[in-house]
Chains A and B, each alone.
Chain A
Amino acid sequence: GAVVSQHPSWVICKSGTSVKIECRSLDFQATTMFWYRQFPKQSLMLMATSNEGSKATYEQGVEKDKFLINHASLTLSTLTVTSAHPEDSSFYICSARSPTEAFFGQGTRLTVV
């Protein structure tokens, strides 16, 4: 079946640095990808919708200047957490839609120390 690959699976970074997370659709083209964030024992919360060739659409309360999204090709979207702080520590998950269903990446566990 279709696969979405997310990298890295975990990352530890120092406060104030930036971290880039990649999301690739491996065997289908995705004009739209989605980025979610999940805090411990909570459900997934949509952060933004990534559109190939255009600006991302951010959910209310999500800072677009802090969470930079780039969707430069039909198979790759990236999320960069800029000037990360400990409160940004979370599980970040991307999703890509095929015509019939949504597939999710493995998730990235970000820990900011």
Chain B
Amino acid sequence: DAKTTQPPSMDCAEGRAANLPCNHSTISGNEYVYWYRQIHSQGPQYIIHGLKNNETNEMASLIITEDRKSSTLILPHATLRDTAVYYCIVRGSNAGNMLTFGGGTRLMVKP
């Protein structure tokens, strides 16, 4: 699976949009971009995933560049409960593939 690069930490004001970037320049054509987050002392929580098109669900939006070499996770109205480590992961569609976690981005939402 392709390697990802994320900033180690970011701050965001409560109520504002949080935009978390991820670089995955070696992504291959059949690999998806997944986002998970981990709140302190809990297991990772699935947020969203996409292949080529932008995706939106009740938690977030995922914007993938046309060349697929980078993506941005958008939390439209960040709350204090969104403070967590956010992981961007690239993996193939094989159901047997495990998820390989990088360092992630520690998002701190401040009042």
Stretch touching chain B among A12-20, A41-49, A61-69, A71-79? A41-49
Q: Is the interface of B mostly helix, strand, loop or mixed?
A: loop
Tell me the number of A-to-B contacts counted with CB atoms below 8 Å.
Answer: 49
Question: By the criterion CB–CB under 8 Å, are A43 and B104 in contact?
Answer: yes
Question: Taking the nearest CB of chain B, how far is it from the CB of A33, in angstroms?
Answer: 10
Q: Is the interface of A mostly helix, strand, loop or mixed?
A: strand
Interface size class of B (residues with CB under 8 A): 20 to 34
With A and B bound together, what is the CA distance between A104 and B37 in angstroms?
11
What 7 new A-B contacts, CB under 8 Å, besides A93-B44, A95-B98, A104-B44?
Answer: A36-B101, A95-B44, A101-B49, A102-B46, A104-B45, A104-B46, A106-B42
Interface residues of A (CB under 8 A from B): 4, 6, 32, 34, 36, 43-46, 49, 91, 93, 95, 97-99, 101-107, 109
